[in-house]
Each structure stands twice: as structure tokens, then as C-alpha cells.
Amino acid sequence: MLWPIVAIVVSALAFGVAAYFYQWVKRLPTADDGKNGLNRIGQLIRQGAFTFLKREYRTLVVFCGVVAVVIFLVYPAPLWQGQGAGENVVMAVSYLFGSALSALAGYIGISVATLANTRSASAARQGLAPAYMAGFRGGAVMGMAVVASSLLGAAVLYLATGDSEAVMAFSFGASSLALFAKAGGGIFTKTADIAADLTGKVELGIPEDDPRNPAVIADNVGDNVGDVAGMGADLFDSNVASTAAALVVAVALGLVEMIFCFGALGLLASIVGVLVARVGEKGDPGRALNSGTYLTCALFAALTLAASLACGYSLRIWGAAVLGMAAGVVIGITSDFFVGDDKKPVKRVAEACQNGPAFTILSGFSYGLLSCLPSMAGIGVAALGAYKLCEPLGGNYPMFGIGMAAVGMLSVVGMIISNDAYGPIVDNARGVAEMCGLGDDVLEITDKLDAAGNTSKAITKGFAIGAAGLTVIALLGAFRETVIQAGGTVSFNLMDPLVFFGALIGAAIPAVFSAMLILGVDKNSQRMVKEIHRQFDTIPGLREGREGVTPQYDKCIDIATVGAIRQLIPAGLMAILVTLAVGFIGGVEAVGGYLMGNIVTGLLLAMLMSNAGGLWDNAKKYIESGHFGGKGSPAHKAAVIGDTVGDPFKDTAGPSINTQITVVSLVSSLSAALFVASSLF
Amino acid sequence: MLWPIVAIVVSALAFGVAAYFYQWVKRLPTADDGKNGLNRIGQLIRQGAFTFLKREYRTLVVFCGVVAVVIFLVYPAPLWQGQGAGENVVMAVSYLFGSALSALAGYIGISVATLANTRSASAARQGLAPAYMAGFRGGAVMGMAVVASSLLGAAVLYLATGDSEAVMAFSFGASSLALFAKAGGGIFTKTADIAADLTGKVELGIPEDDPRNPAVIADNVGDNVGDVAGMGADLFDSNVASTAAALVVAVALGLVEMIFCFGALGLLASIVGVLVARVGEKGDPGRALNSGTYLTCALFAALTLAASLACGYSLRIWGAAVLGMAAGVVIGITSDFFVGDDKKPVKRVAEACQNGPAFTILSGFSYGLLSCLPSMAGIGVAALGAYKLCEPLGGNYPMFGIGMAAVGMLSVVGMIISNDAYGPIVDNARGVAEMCGLGDDVLEITDKLDAAGNTSKAITKGFAIGAAGLTVIALLGAFRETVIQAGGTVSFNLMDPLVFFGALIGAAIPAVFSAMLILGVDKNSQRMVKEIHRQFDTIPGLREGREGVTPQYDKCIDIATVGAIRQLIPAGLMAILVTLAVGFIGGVEAVGGYLMGNIVTGLLLAMLMSNAGGLWDNAKKYIESGHFGGKGSPAHKAAVIGDTVGDPFKDTAGPSINTQITVVSLVSSLSAALFVASSLF
């Protein structure tokens, strides 16, 4: 049990680094001069984010509690079958443990991000390098916390129970929390964004981020809860799920140690990458972020090679892990091509904006569709390659190879999350700098940082989708393994009409799920618009901006939160319930097809929406930077419409699909024995 | 060989009915009074359509010739393997026969539609019933011609060769022609539509359908070539493919006769339905169209029940066919719900238009996503039900059951095409009535007819997609059968990474295919805009509308045609070449997964685009009828943007995906033996 213990030690080290960065960020001075209100604005955003988290977690405690009771009652075997309650308790506790750790990671991330935003804005007065460091180290706190807690949780749990099913339940806990954190945060942020724009910019003609607008703080909060907490929960979830999937197969092969070995070394490589990443005063922050990632990848490959040689692990498995990592990089580069504002697609879409918004939508949507092929091929090649590499080892090794490819892809996730959380922090910093009038020099620097953040965000999204894709393929293997252990026969033959039936239903679920989220944003923002009208009508002096009159920001935050959770629960539940229905009707064959259909259309829609959304956003920015008429031109108006369509695509529905496919895969694996025991067909 | 002969006789009967209707329509008087220019406008549209067909067919002769040579060289076995050229000649000739018949059906359809439009407009002076009859009987010519020629072709070919593979090649010929007719027609019509609007309405401020606009005839021609010829080719293709798929399985079971029996009786039922359908002077044309379809369905069920009892066919197989037919009706009703302008989705989207175009897009897209589930579930239930119904018969019967479900769904296709072709005819009639100033009474009647046409068009599209879905599932069975006959082993196991790899690639193809078509429309319309500018700049008096000065309509038609074919060939070829690449790399397992992935995302995207597009169109019409501010309001402007986005969705990409999945399935079946003989993995 050497490597699980090493994993715990490295996790502790990562927590140490996170704590160090946290204190480092917290001690940075802010540029509040008593007049510009910087601290007050920072405080409002911070309070708002915590208001959201408190409200969300209160609801989630109830939800997770109910699910834990259900798990206790029926998993791994129904209590009334009289096989004792011991294992059921372990499952339920593991589930709660997973949810709690995921929630904690989100809490830490929000906590630092809402300090780092004002610090980064303030540091920008001293130049690019200090501002970059404030943003990046703020993001790195989240990156370290997420990976450390997921690795620590899995290692502790496995050491305590020795049961891969418990890790599966742990993963399900993380996933169900991620489902809410990601989609909930996504609905929250877009609700506030749209409502603030509609009432502020369109109706009242007050500028963006005007403090009179009751939704303005909710809007700023949204950036944090959507991108920091949401994406963190998503990658926490993928990270744990890949470990769990590999574990299920590894137990029989006696290779459990290897998983923790690779996980620990990946985290170690990320720690080094995070500590080393910095930018010179004249340097390019985007390049700094990327070179940090490449360094982490190279380190991971070298360290795991050494460890494999030392521990006598087959180099074929090592190759599979490295292949997975390489696929992640390729997918990131693809996303960058389709979304980057110096590449052809963004320029073409910006050009199309001149012909009106319909062309903005059509061209952006088309490029989004095109972007699916390379990423899906990348996932396919990685899975196939990993399998074929490990095929000569025989037995279950090929499936284990796919699992390790997913573990490899996620090995550098600490670095990836750091890059991603950097994005919303410097985005917020830019907003704070503008609201508090820190001057043009500061804005120029924060603009530069923000642009680098946009690109890294696009890469992260592609990476997150790829990781989810490879992970769910590994989970499909875990599902099969569980079915076999439950005494079921497995022939997921495409020609079996049950498989086909399942595939058709599974394929439609990500579509329905996305539609429910997008319609949720729609409904919710209309509710918030009403509240904003109410405040303007009943609070005297608010509309005119009388000194000392502030709107009730909390009300809007509460509406966004309550609405987000209310709209989300049906979508998440729908996915889970349909999965169970398919399983109890069609049995494991139908579920096999269902997962397959769900994965392929899920990946397709996730990629399409994330990339099209990012593309529209950057096309708008490209025009704003002076092309095709610049700000205020007809092309710009068309681009703004594209961007608004893209907002819930890229920040609500698209990236939530990852979590949907992972949750569905985990539900299937956990319920496999039940499906074998009782299904209609 | 009784039933193939009966099929030929019934086909001849259907041709007779078609010829009778053709003459009937042709003899109807037109309302040309020497001043309103009705005959001239009708003539221009007719000439334009034939210009397109001539140009398209000239290109297709080359394409099909090349493919025929390739088929001769390598199918069913490469010539250089020295197994003789006999079978190869049969395959190549069958292929050409299929393309030729499909082209002929398109020619007949265009030929009558461009007569019926002016006749229907003219008949509207006498009232609703005569106008309806002119439109419907015009459409019925196409309906009869398509089904009769496909049934006749398959029967003749099977009688002549006794080889199901030859029918497969025949089907491939029909499909590859449909691929061009459908997508080519779709690109043509939207190119002209968009270019005419951009230059006419937006730039010059001249009204829609103004004869000064060089693109105006191309625009009107487009409606015919897209909806009449395109949809006809698509359903011709599905019809033949379902027959071919069932045949491959039927040969071993000795049930070839049954396929022709059901096909012949379905056509007979359609003939009766077409002859009976009529509307009273106060009646609802939509109801007349629907009740005709229901009558056809009931007749088909009764006739085939009687035939099954008389010939001793298992009633389980009959049940499978009826189940397929019922699924088709359910899918049609679903499409009607999501697209119909008296239903909730259209009203909600129209309401969302008040908040701006971004909400139009988001809500319409969401409903489009939602619309996928019931249709895909319908296809899944039909396939599963047919399989389970025939499972007790053992052996290959369950797969044959799925094939017969597809045959059953397509049995009423004669009636369906008649309803569909009715749509563009009365749409054209409305345009002609307006251009020639036939008066408000006439417009009121043509409006009524047009509204009924829109609903029936939506139902037809849903039906066409469903039919393609069930057909390709049957083709998957045919593929497996061919692989087994070629001595290959078949285990399309989802856990096989080759299958999974194939599925991921296959899933991305419909996305890339659609993107290429949509970008094609975009590029092409910009080319036509340039030509329109050239004509306005160089033809003296055109801009001012001087008496006797007419634009060079042919130039625009030529640009639309050449551009459509130029843009289409890459998309169609891409789909075919990727299929071959996957087969030669990953072998039959990869192709199995590829087909599966292709089918599920193909159906999803087809349904999404067709329904979202139809929804936007009808939301616009709903607003134009006076809701939410009516014509010219901000809501209307937003709705127009939605409609423009929806145009290539519903008329170019969406319905072309049907053909793409069919072509890919046929290519796979035809090449199965080659894949078995030589693949990398």
C-alpha cells in the first residue's frame, strides 16, 4: 500500500501549496484609496458568491441526504434482501464524502477567487507580471485544492474499505454535486447576465456594471460561481470518476497501486508546473499558461516512466496513459483553433456579422459542428490506441489501458484548473478596474490578461469534454465488469434491438437535458427582470442614483440561486430517472446501448455548444477591437446577438453535458446488479 | 413470382393515375388575361426549374458514370481477382438504373408542379375546392410516379437477376442521386432566397418577388427543386432502401414475395387514398390531407392482413409492418406538435421574439432539441417491437421484422409525397396570385391552402426522417448479413474499441456534413449577390424598371445550380470517403459502430434542424398574423432572423442528413466483402 500513502502525502503537499498561495494572495495590497470603493465592490461580490453557495449547499444537503438514504436502502443490494446493512452504510457514507469534498473544493475556489480579483486589479498598477501572478496563483489555489482533495478522498477511502465500489459511490457523490454546481452555476450566471443587460443597458440606458442595477452584483458573482466553482466541480468529478473506473478493473489485475502512483505523480508534476509558471514584464501571459501546461505534461511522462521502470509496471500501460494525455493536448489545441481570435473561424464569423445576425448564427453554428470531428477522433484514437497497446497483455488489460488513458489525460488536471480559474479572476479584475476607475494603464494590462484567460478557458473546456469522454468509455468498461460480477451476461451487440433501442433513447437525453437548462435560463431571467422592475418602482431614489441609496442585491442573488436550483433539479433528475427506467425495462443490454448513445451525442452537443459559444464571444471581441466597423456598427450588433445565444450554450448547457454523461454512467454502474436481478426484458 | 408481377401491374396502374392527373392538371385553364402576365411568370419559373434540372443532371451523369465504373471494377468483387465480370456488370447497370429512375421521378414531379402552381392560383377564383384539387392532384402525380417507379424498378430488377445485391446497387444509385437532388436543391433554394432578400428587400428596398430582381425567378424555382424534386428523391431513396434491406434478409427466409406483396398493396392503398381525397367548399384542406393519409393507412393494414391470411404469411410479420406504419404516424404527429402554429412551442417562441432575436434562437433551438426524444423513442419502440414480435419465429425472422417495419412505414409513402408536393405547389400559387394581382379573394383562399401545406410539410419531414431511421436500422441488419455471407465474423460489441472508435467518428460525420452544406449556402449566396450587383450596374434601365427591360434570370439560376453542385460534391464525397476509410482501417467492427454513431447523431441533428427550422418559420407567420405587434414590430424583426437561420436548417442541412445516413449505410453494405477481405485492424 505504498502508493496510496504517497498519494496522501502528495495531496497534503498540494494543500500546503494551496494554503501558501491563499495567504500570498490575501496579503497582497488592494488599491482602495477610500474613494474608489474598490474594497466595497470586492466585498459585495464576495458576499454575493457566499450567499449563493450557502443557498445552494442548503438545498444540496437535502438532495444529497435523500440520495444517501436511497443508496443506503438499495445499494449495493436492497436492504430487504437481508444481506446485512454494512456495505450499504459504506456506500452511503462514501457518497456523502464525495459530495462534501467536492463542495469543499468549490468553497475554497470561490473563497480565493473573490479575493484575487481585486488584488490582481490593484497589482496591475505595478505592471503585467505582478497582476498575472495574483490571478494565476489565485487560480492555482483552486487547482491544487480540487486535485488534492479528489486524490486524497479516493486514497483514504480505498485504504479504509478496500472496496472499489465505495470509490464508485464516492465518485457518484462528487458527480451529483458537480451536476448542480456546474449547471446551477451556469444557469445562475446567465440569468443574472441577461437580466442585467435587458434592464440596465436596454431599458434604462445605464452602463454595464452600474451599481444602481440590482442585478449587477449577481452578474459579477455569476462569473465566479459559473467558471470557478462550476468548472472545478466538473473536473473534480471527472478526476474521481476516471480513478473509480480504472479501480474497478484494476482490482482483479492487482494494479490498484499503479493508479495511485500515476495520480500522485501527476499531482506532483502539476505542483511543479504551478510553482514555476511566471511571466516576464514584456512576456505573453498566454504563452506562460501554455508553457506551464507543457512542462507539467513532460514531467508527468518522465516521472511515470521512471516509476513504471522502478515498480515493474508494463510500459504498455504507461504508453496508454501518455497517449491519453497527448489526446487531451490535441483536443485543447483543436478548441483553440476554433475559438482563438487569431484563427480563421473567428475572423470568418466576424466577417459574416456584416451580413446580419442570421449569418452570425449560421456560420458560428457551422464551425461549431465542424469542431466536433477532430476532438471526437482524438478521443476515439486515444481509446483505440490504449486498448491496442495493452492487448498483448491479455485478459482485462486492454480495458485497464483505456482506464489509464483517462487517468493520464486527467493527470495534469491540477495545472488545467489553475489556468481555467485564472480566467474569471482576471475577468473580474478587469471589471473591478473599470468600475473603480483605476486608469487606462491598468485597463490595458488587465485586457491583456483577460485575453489570455479567454483562450485558456476555451482550451480547458475542450479538455474537460475530452476527459469526460475518455472517462465514460472507461466507465462503460466498469459497467460491464460490474454486470459480470453480478452474474449477468454481457453482449452489448449493436444488432441486439435492446441495445439499439437504448442507444436511440440515450442519444436523445443530452438534447433534452440541454434544452431544459437553456429554457431554465430563459424563464429565470424573466423572473429576475420583474424583481428589478419592482426595486426600481419601490425604492425611492434608486433610479436617479441618489447618494446612499443601494438596491437589494441579495434579492437578485437569491432569485438567481433559487431559480437555478429549481430549474436544474428537473433536468438532472430526468437524466437519472430515464437511465433507471431504461435499465429496469430493457436490462443491461439496453443500458449498454443507452450509455453509448448518450456518450456520442453528449460529446457532440457539448463540443458544438462550447466551441460555437466561445467562437461567438471572440468574434464579438474581434469586432470590438476595431474590425468590420468596430463597436456600435451593424456588424457589432449582430455579433452581440451571437454572443447572447452563445452564452447559455457555452456557460450553461454545453459544459454541463460532461457531468450529465458522467452521472448517467455512474448511476448505471452502481445499479448494474439491480438491472441484472430485475428487468422487464 | 406472383407478387413481383402484381407489383409491376400496380405500378403500371399508378403510372396511369399519374398520367391521368397530369393531363387533368394541364388542361385546367389559367387566369391569364393578356395583362396580368400570369402565363409568362409561370413560364419563367418552369423554364428556370428545367434549366436547373438540365444543369444538375449533366453534372450527375458524369458523377454517376464515374461511380458506375468504380462499381464495375470492384463490386461485388474486384475484377482483378478474376471471378469474372458478369456480376460486376449487373451491379453497375443496376446502379445506373436506380439513378436514372430517381432522376426521372424528379423530372416528372417538377414538370407537373410548375404547371399546377398557375392552375391552382387560377382555380382559386372559383373557390377553395377547385384550387385545392389542382394543388393536390399536381402533388399526387409526383407521389404516384415516385412510388411506382421505385417499386417497378425493384421488381423488374429482382425478376431479371434474382439477386438482392443488385437491388442494393439499384438502391445505391437512387441514394446517390437523392444525395445531390436533396442537398443540391436545398442549397439552390436557400442561396437564391437569401441573395434575393439581401439585394432586393434590404439593399434596394424593392418588394419581394419584384420581377426586376435577377434572383426572383431563381427564388421561386428553388421552392420547386428543393421541396418537390428533393423530397421526392429522398423518399424514393428511403423506399427503395427499405425494400433492398428487407430483400437481403428475405432471400434466405424465402419471403421475397412478401415484400413485393406489401409494397404493391401499400401503393394500391395510396392510389385509393389519392383518388378519394377531396375537400368541401367550406372544408379544411389540412383535414382533407390528413384524413386521406389515415384512410390509406387503414386500407394498407386491412389489405395486408387479408393477403397475409391468404398467402399464409405469419401475422407476426404483418404486425411488425403495421407497427412501423403506426410509428410513422406518431412521428408525424410529434413534428406537428412542435411545428404547428396552433400549438404551444410556436406560441412560446413567438412570445420570446419580443425580447430580441437571441431569445428567438435560444427558445426555438431548445424546442428543436426537445422534439428529438419522442421521434427517436418512436423509432426505437418500432424497431424493438418488430424484433420482439418476430422473435418467436426464430432465426433471421426478427431482423426481417425490422425490415418489414420499415417497409410498413414506407407503404403509405405515395400518399405522403402527394401531401408534401402539394405544399410547394400552393406556396407557388400564392406567390403567382400576388405577383399577378389576382385579388384578395384569391389570396385568402391560397393562404388557407398554403397554411395546410405548411403543416403537412412538417409532418412529411418528420415522417421522412423516421422512415430513414428505421430503414438504416434494417440496413444495419443487411450489412451484418452481407458480412456473414462474405465469410466475416460479426460481433459488433460496444466494448470492442474498434466499434467504439467507429461510433465516435460516425457520430461526427452528420455534423461535418451539415456544416459543409450550411457554409455552402453562405458562400454561394454571396456569389449570387455579386452577380445581381453586376446586372444592376451593367443593364441600362433595369434598376428603374424601364418597360421591356428584363434581367438575365438564367445567370442567377446558373450560379445557384453550379454553386449548389460544387458545394455539395465535397460534402457527399466526404461522407462516402470517410466510410470507406473507416472500413479499410478498422474493418467491419469499426463500420458497425460507425453506422450506429452515424444513425443516432444523424437522426438527432436531422430532427433538431427540421423542427427548429419549421418552428421559426411558423413563429414568424404567427406574429405576421397580428400577434405580439404583428408585421414590422421588433418581435417580427427578431422572428425574421430566426426564420433566416431556420431556412438552411430545415431546407438544406436537416433533411439532407436522411440521405447521408442512407448513402453511408448502402456504401457499407456494398463494401462489406471488401472490408472483410482487407482491413488494417
What pLDDT was estimated at residue A285?
75
Band (pLDDT 50/70/90 cuts) for residue A140 is: very high
What pLDDT was estimated at residue A627?
93
What pLDDT was estimated at residue B553?
84
Per-residue pLDDT, averaged over B651-674, amounts to 89
Answer with the residue of higher pLDDT: A202 or B540: B540
Per-residue pLDDT, averaged over B310-331, amounts to 93
Band (pLDDT 50/70/90 cuts) for residue A350 is: very high
How far is Cα B416 from Cα B456, in angstroms, rounded to an integer? 9
What count of Cα atoms within 13 Å lies in the side-chain half-sphere of residue B473? Answer: 38
Say whether pLDDT at A57 is over 90: no
- Close Cβ partners of B298 (under 8 Å, ≥ 6 residues apart): none
Per-residue pLDDT, averaged over B496-522, amounts to 93
Q: By C-alpha distance, which of A128, A136, A32 is closest to A442?
A: A128
Per-residue pLDDT, averaged over A198-222, amounts to 79
Interchain contact, B373 vs A512, CB within 8 Å: yes
Say whether pLDDT at B454 is over 90: no
Interchain contact, B511 vs A372, CB within 8 Å: yes
Say whether pLDDT at A286 is over 80: no
Q: So what's the ipTM on this one?
A: 0.91
What pLDDT was estimated at residue B613?
92
- Give the tens place of pLDDT for each residue, A526-573: 889 889 989 989 999 888 878 778 888 888 988 888 888 787 778 888
Interchain contact, B645 vs A358, CB within 8 Å: yes
Please count the residues of chain A.
681
Say whether pLDDT at B459 is over 80: no
Interchain contact, A507 vs B388, CB within 8 Å: no
The closest CB to that of B369, out of A399, A497, A512, belongs to A512
What pLDDT was estimated at residue A544?
83
**Beta carbons within 10 angstroms of residue B109's beta carbon:** 32
Q: What percent of chain A has pLDDT over 70?
A: 98
What pLDDT was estimated at residue A148?
94
Per-residue pLDDT, averaged over B645-654, amounts to 90
Question: Cα distance from A373 to chain B (closest Cα, Å)?
Answer: 5
- Give the tens place of pLDDT for each residue, A464-508: 788 888 888 888 888 888 888 877 777 777 778 899 899 999 999
Average pLDDT, chain A: 89
What pLDDT was estimated at residue B380?
92
φ/ψ of B493, rounded to 5, equals -85, 130
Band (pLDDT 50/70/90 cuts) for residue A678 is: confident
Per-residue pLDDT, averaged over A569-597, amounts to 92
Helix axis angle, B413-435 to B256-276, nearest 10°: 40
Average pLDDT, chain B: 89
| pTM for the model | 0.92
Per-residue pLDDT, averaged over A297-311, amounts to 95
Please report the sign of the dihedral spanned by the C-alpha atoms of residue B82, residue B84, residue B85, residue B88: negative
User: 402565363: which residue's cell?
Assistant: B39
3-state helix, strand, coil in chain A (%, to 5): 85, 0, 15
Q: By C-alpha distance, which of A273, A194, A240, A311 is closest to A641?
A: A194
- Give the tens place of pLDDT for each residue, A599-611: 999 999 999 999 9
Interchain contact, A645 vs B370, CB within 8 Å: no
Say whether pLDDT at B202 is over 80: no
- Return left, alpha or beta for A540; rule: phi > 0 is left, psi -120 to 50 is alpha, else beta: beta
Question: Cα distance from A73 to chain B (closest Cα, Å)?
Answer: 31
Answer with the residue of higher pLDDT: A412 or B154: B154
Per-residue pLDDT, averaged over B70-80, amounts to 87
Q: By C-alpha distance, which of A100, A175, A108 is closest to A142?
A: A108
Say whether pLDDT at A80 is over 80: yes
The closest CB to that of A380, out of B504, B521, B603, belongs to B504
What pLDDT was estimated at residue A36?
81
Q: Cβ contacts (< 8 Å) between A362 and chain B: which residues?
A: 518, 521-522, 645, 648
Q: Are B525 and B202 in contact, with CB atoms under 8 Å apart?
A: no
Q: What does the H/E/C string look like for A279-299?
A: CCCCCCHHHHHHHHHHHHHHH
Q: Are B513 and B442 in contact, with CB atoms under 8 Å apart?
A: no
Q: Cβ contacts (< 8 Å) between A519 and chain B: which residues?
A: 363, 366
Cell readout for A122 is 490593484
Rounded to 5°, the CA angle B583-B588-B592 comes to: 100
Question: Cα distance from A206 to chain B (closest Cα, Å)?
Answer: 18
Q: Cβ contacts (< 8 Å) between B355 and chain A: which residues?
A: 198
Q: Are B624 and B631 in contact, with CB atoms under 8 Å apart?
A: yes
B-interface mutation test, from A334, A465, A493, A495, most B Cβ less than 10 A away: A495
- Looking at this protein, which amino acid is placed at residue A202? V
What pLDDT was estimated at residue B619?
93
Per-residue pLDDT, averaged over A14-42, amounts to 91
What pLDDT was estimated at residue B227?
80
Question: Cα distance from B185 to chain A (closest Cα, Å)?
Answer: 19
Band (pLDDT 50/70/90 cuts) for residue A53 is: confident
Burial class of residue B206 (count of CB atoms within 10 Å of its CB; 0-12, 13-18, 19+): middle
Helix extents (H) in A228-284: 231-253, 256-276
Cell readout for B77 is 468483387
β-strand partners of B493: A493
Say whether pLDDT at B470 is over 90: no
If you write DSSP's letter for every residue of A523-572 in order, what string do you get?
HHHHHHHHHHHHHHHHSTTTTTT-TT----HHHHHHHHHHHHHHHHHHHH
Per-residue pLDDT, averaged over A588-609, amounts to 94
How far is Cα A290 from Cα A538, in angstroms, rounded to an integer? 51
